[in-house]
Amino acid sequence: MSNVHLLDEYLRALRLPAMLANYRRIAADNEEKLLFLQELVAVEIDRRHENGVRSRIAAARFPVVKTIEAFDFSLQSQLPKAKLLELLNGRFIDANINPILVGPTGVGKTHLLTAIGLAACTAGYRVRFTTAAEICMTLIAAKREDRLKTRLSYYERYQLLLIDELGYVPFEREATDLLYQVIAQRYERASIAVTTNLAFTDWTQVFPDPMTASVVVDRLIHHSMIFEFAGESHRLRMRKAAGRPRKGT
């Protein structure tokens, strides 16, 4: 791409139509002036991108920042690494696909969920991280304060909703009905990424109504990418390696 065409793209990205329409006339096609302007505009592009990434990461409310580079794939050798890495470009969000990470506690599901969300923030997507317990409690509180519609609209703002730890705590019928509303609203319209320690056949442990459990599973897996984790908890493995005694012994 020529310098002029690249500069045009930069100015469109910055939404500076007056500059786009007049810079060639003012620079009189002087290559040195055009190059100077291109470099200056590129600095502004980079700065806005960095500020945008920081803002999106803050809005996502990650509990901790975990990157894909820090994930040890050797501990989950059965995972399709190439397929997981493809998620980092964010294209699955445009296709409304739901990544679902299934496996026991402590095997890295939350780490990868956060890394996927962080990459999405960097790629320009609006992301929100929450746990299943947190979103259920928030929705119940909103319902009782007569602001449920506002809260449901809040979650719709995000192009990617990350729900961690679905299945760790059973919920009352009221909570699961509200969670179902969030999932149903996003069905084929926006992506949800989920971590769970339960096989899909066991989701009745979370959703008291078997019909609701069935419908939720159906909505999530219809357009999904499922990744199955295995093995022992990393924290437990580290504890054993360090030779720490168990409590009560």
CA distances from 55 to 74, 125, 126 (A): 33, 11, 10
pLDDT at 244 over 70: no
Q: How confident is the model at residue 206 (pLDDT cuts 50, 70, 90)?
A: confident
CATH number at residue 131: 3.40.50.300
Residue 231 buriedness (CB in 10 A; 0-12 / 13-18 / 19+): middle
Q: Percent of the chain beyond pLDDT 70?
A: 92
111/208 same-domain check: yes
Range of the domain at 23: 3-54
User: How many domains does the chain contain in total?
Assistant: 2
* CA nearest neighbour of 153 among 110, 197, 118, 186: 186
40/159 same-domain check: no
pLDDT at 31 over 70: yes
- Classify residue 128: in a domain, yes or no: yes
Helix residue ranges, H only, the chain:
3-13, 17-27, 31-60, 81-86, 91-94, 109-122, 132-144, 148-156, 173-186, 210-222, 234-242
CA angle, residues 59, 62, 64, in degrees to nearest 5? 140
127/37 same-domain check: no
- Classify residue 100: in a domain, yes or no: yes
DSSP 200: G
pLDDT of residue 219: 93
127/224 same-domain check: yes
Distance in angstroms (rounded) separating the CA atoms of residues 139 and 179: 8
- Asked whether the beta carbons of 38 and 65 are under 8 A apart, the reply is no
8/110 same-domain check: no
- Classify residue 247: in a domain, yes or no: no
pLDDT of residue 2: 61
- Classify residue 14: in a domain, yes or no: yes
42/8 same-domain check: yes
pLDDT of residue 196: 96
Average pLDDT, the chain: 90
Residue 84, helix vs strand vs coil: helix
The span from the first CA to the last CA of the chain, in angstroms, equals: 69
Q: Percent of the chain beyond pLDDT 90?
A: 64
- Classify residue 90: in a domain, yes or no: yes
**pTM value surpassing 0.85:** no
77/200 same-domain check: yes
The residues, ordered by sequence, that sit 6+ positions from 187 with a Cβ below 8 Å of its Cβ are 219, 222
81/7 same-domain check: no
